[in-house]
Amino acid sequence: MTQHLLLALGLLAVFGGVGAIILALGATASDRQQVGRSLAALEAMSPRRPTVRRELDRPFAERVLAPLVSRLSWIGNQFSPRGEPSRLRHKIELAGSPARWDVERVLAFKVLGLVFGLALGVLGPLSAGAGLGVTMGVAVVLTPLGYFVPDLALYQTAYNRNERIRRDLPDSMDLLTISVEAGLPFDSALSQVARNTRGPLAEELFRVLQEMQIGLGRMDALRAVAERTNVPELRGFVTAMVQAEQFGIPIANVLRIQARELRVKRSQRAEEMAQKVPVKILFPLIFCILPSLFIVVMGPAAISAYHNLLH
């Protein structure tokens, strides 16, 4: 009997303690709710027009577009594979870091492209009266296409930039060689080339000079240029300059050899492009030019033969 009584008292004590904790938490929560209601009443009584006016005075892009881009970027980052932001950052660097292009915006545009491609793939065929199979096929094609449109834009921008650097590199190398052989130091010769040329190569040379001014070594700055571009000729030039710095080879000799090789490669590239012209013009010639010539030349003869057969 005593054991049962002690067990009952213990259970009552446990339940009493739990009830006391619940009551204490409830009292604290009610106190907080009361304080919150009081603060809300005071805030409602105070004038809020200046705060609303300050909020509305902010630009539309800052009030609406920036939070939307941030939210879409977060969604895109959640569904992207691991390491996608670093790959996009490298692609943006290869494209020359265009204005207002960053990883967050690219991810947001990928999500928008996905949604737009899905909507266009579903609503377009349905509005044209297509069946379910055709609608699903078009949606399957347009949805990933809309997702990868920003990647295609980055690739095309980087390709155009690298081609411009490849075209400008031989002339810039000649100017750099002439400047060094005239007695200018290498850094001053780089500055001379950057000031007297235009385009992405000049921008990269300016960036090299700026990085050297803030304390980065010359070779490290040149290696960074090779990493930011995808031009084999420029990578070869950087490798030759690094080796010349390490082994103590005169820079003028290295520059002269590099300039001569770049001129030879430019001539070879021009010859290669000229040899590709007959192959590229073959299909337009067969499918566009020759049918038009046949219509112009054989058409009147066919019409005359037709009338002669009728009469």
Per run of 10 residues, the mean pLDDT along the chain (length 311 residues) is 46 47 46 55 52 55 65 73 83 84 85 85 80 82 87 91 91 90 88 89 90 86 86 88 85 88 89 87 85 83 79 64
Same domain, 254 and 175: yes
User: pLDDT value at position 5?
Assistant: 45
Long-range interactions of 116-125: CB distance < 8 A, separation 24+ = 116/146, 117/142, 117/143, 117/144, 117/145, 117/146, 117/147, 118/142, 118/143, 118/146, 120/146
Q: Are residues 123 and 66 in the same domain?
A: yes
Last residue of a domain, which of 144, 161, 178?
Answer: 161
Is residue 15 in a domain?
A: no
The CA–CA distances, whole Å, from 68 to 84, 104, 112 equal 20, 11, 11
Q: Is residue 41 part of a domain?
A: no
| Residue 296: predicted pLDDT | 84
Is the model's pTM score more than 0.85? no
In a domain, 54, yes or no: no
Which domain, by its residues, includes 227?
163-269
198 and 235 inside one domain: yes
- Residues contacting residue 199 through CB under 8 Å, at least 6 positions apart: 164, 165, 168
What CATH code is carried by the domain that includes residue 220?
A: 1.20.81.30
Instruction: Tell whether 289 is covered by a domain.
Output: no
Domain count, the chain: 2
Out of 117, 146, 161, a domain closes at 161
Q: Which of 126, 161, 196 is the last residue of a domain?
A: 161
Give the Cα separation of 288 and 91 in Å (integer). 38
Looking at the structure, tell me whether residues 244 and 173 fall in a common domain: yes
